[in-house]
Amino acid sequence: MAEAQTPIRLGIVGARGYVGAELITLVARHPRFELAFVSSRELAGQPVAEHNAAYHGDLRYCAPTNAELPGLGADAVVLALPNGKAADCVAAFDAAGVDPVIIDLSADYRFDEGWYYGLPELTRGNYRGQRRISNPGCYATAMQLAIAPMRDGLVGSVQCFGVSGYSGAGTTPSDKNDPGKLRDNLMPYALVNHVHEREVTRQLGHPVEFMPHVAPHFRGITLTANLHLSQPFARDDVLARYHERYAGEPLVRVHDEAPWVSRIAGAHHVDIGGFALSDDGQRLVVVATEDNLLKGAATQALQNLNLAFGLDELTGISTGND
| Per-residue pLDDT tens over the stretch 26-80 | 999 999 999 999 999 999 999 999 999 999 999 999 999 999 999 999 999 999 9
Query: C-alpha angle 191/192/198, rounded to 5°?
Result: 120
Domains, the chain, in order of start with CATH, read: 8-137+296-308 (3.40.50.720), 138-292 (3.30.360.10)
Q: What are phi and psi of 126, to 5 degrees?
A: -90, 0
What residues pair up with 208 in beta bridges, in sequence order? 158
Q: What pTM was estimated for this model as a whole?
A: 0.94
Amino acid at 184: D
Which of 93, 28, 78, 88 shows the shortest CA–CA distance to 58?
Answer: 28
In whole angstroms, what is the distance from residue 157 CA to residue 266 CA? 32
Per-residue confidence (pLDDT) for residue 308, from 0 to 100? 98
In whole angstroms, what is the distance from residue 316 CA to residue 293 CA? 16
Buried b (16+ CB within 10 A) or exposed e, 96-135: eeeebbbbbbbbbbbeeeebbbbbbbbeeeeeeebebbbb
In whole angstroms, what is the distance from residue 156 CA to residue 142 CA? 20
In whole angstroms, what is the distance from residue 319 CA to residue 249 CA? 10
Q: Is 228 helix (H, G, I), strand (E, B) or coil?
A: strand
Q: Within its chain, how far is the Cα of 162 from the centroid?
A: 15
Per-residue confidence (pLDDT) for residue 206, from 0 to 100? 98
Per-residue confidence (pLDDT) for residue 321, from 0 to 100? 43
Residue 19 near residue 80 (C-beta atoms within 8 A): yes
In whole angstroms, what is the distance from residue 12 CA to residue 79 CA? 6
Q: Which stretches of the chain drop beneath a pLDDT of 70?
A: 1-4, 168-178, 320-322
Which of 81, 203, 117, 213 shows the shortest CA–CA distance to 160?
Answer: 213
- Strand ranges across the sheet with 101-104: 33-39, 8-13, 76-79, 101-104, 132-134, 116-117
| Catalytic residue positions, numbered | 138
- By the 10 Å C-beta count (0-12 exposed, 13-18 middle, 19+ buried), 47 is classed as middle
Which of 93, 105, 106 shows the shortest CA–CA distance to 67?
Answer: 93
Q: What are phi and psi of 134, to 5 degrees?
A: -100, 120
